[in-house]
Amino acid sequence: MDLHSLAIVLQAALSPNPDERKAGEESLIQFQHTPQHLVRLLQIIVDGNCDMAVRQVASIHFKNFIAKNWSPHDPHEQSKILPNDKDMVRQNILVFVAQVPPLLRVQLGECLKTIVHADYSEQWPTLLPWVKHSLQDQQVYGALFVLRILSRKYEFKSDEERSPVYLIVEETFPHLLNIFNRLVQIVNPALEVSDLLKLICKIFWSSIYLELPKQLFDQNVFNAWMVLFLNILERPSH
């Protein structure tokens, strides 16, 4: 099913006419395992010229399909998603998650959580380098959004299961500290700045929940973080 046909089917799935709606839903089920289906759904989700209701139903279908099929529950079962389609989704969802409206970002965030928990780090070794690069390349919101999901994967892990978080902290915390420092110096910050600060605080919380990473044993580094947190706590509430 090409992109235009998929958009028509998604529109039909929203129809107030029960027969049209049922036909649209059946078509979605019929074609959901065809090559490129997931990729085309993602294209519709990010298409600003497409009707928002259609984009929303595409995002819900996309999320539900990934939740059910990305990682088979039976370890002996093969994933129903083609490797090429998985690669395309992984490559594009990182950029798209920052571009879509909040209503759609919630759905993509759930998809990203499913993929990160299933694939990082063995099947997705490029994820952390992408985050690190994006933190330095003005894609800060997207990088922080992804890093929050990544850090949450290890929030309640202990012992050897927690070891990947040490590399995450080592690679990203110096850049987070620089961004944090710049943000708190902004006079009369916009709401977007508050969103960035909140994400940084949540990433820090997830990363230190069970133990303090050794990178924070450095007194100067630890103090630098605490000064910034104190700055936020002492701000007048509005």
For 56-90, what is each residue's pLDDT tens digit? 999 999 999 999 999 877 666 777 889 999 999 99
From 93, 112, 142, the end of a domain falls on 93
Does residue 159 sit in the same domain as residue 89? no
Dihedral sign, Cα of residue 119, residue 121, residue 123, residue 128: positive
Asked whether residue 114 is assigned to any structural domain, the reply reads no
Q: Chain centroid to CA 136: how far?
A: 18
- Measured CA to CA, the distance from residue 71 to residue 123 in angstroms comes to 12
Q: Report which DSSP code applies to 79.
A: P
- Measured CA to CA, the distance from residue 44 to residue 42 in angstroms comes to 5
Asked whether residue 138 is assigned to any structural domain, the reply reads no
From 76, 93, 110, the end of a domain falls on 93
Whether 170 shows a pLDDT value over 90: the answer reads yes
Q: Residue 121, preceding bond cis, omega within 30 degrees?
A: yes
Q: What is the mean pLDDT of residues 90-99?
A: 93
Asked whether residue 135 is assigned to any structural domain, the reply reads no
From 60, 93, 126, the end of a domain falls on 93
Domain residue limits at 28: 1-93
Res. 212 pLDDT band, cuts 50 70 90:
confident
Asked whether residue 100 is assigned to any structural domain, the reply reads no
Asked whether residue 122 is assigned to any structural domain, the reply reads no
Q: What is the mean pLDDT of residues 175-197?
A: 93
Asked if residue 23 lies in contact with residue 64, where contact means CB atoms within 8 angstroms, the answer is: no
Asked whether residue 113 is assigned to any structural domain, the reply reads no
Q: What are phi and psi of 71, to 5 degrees?
A: -125, 110
**pTM: predicted TM-score of the whole model, two decimal places:** 0.91
Does residue 86 sit in the same domain as residue 171? no
User: Per-residue pLDDT tens for 109-157?
Assistant: 999 999 999 999 999 999 999 999 999 987 899 999 999 999 999 988 8
Asked whether residue 208 is assigned to any structural domain, the reply reads yes
> Into how many domains does the chain fold?
2
Whether 43 shows a pLDDT value over 80: the answer reads yes
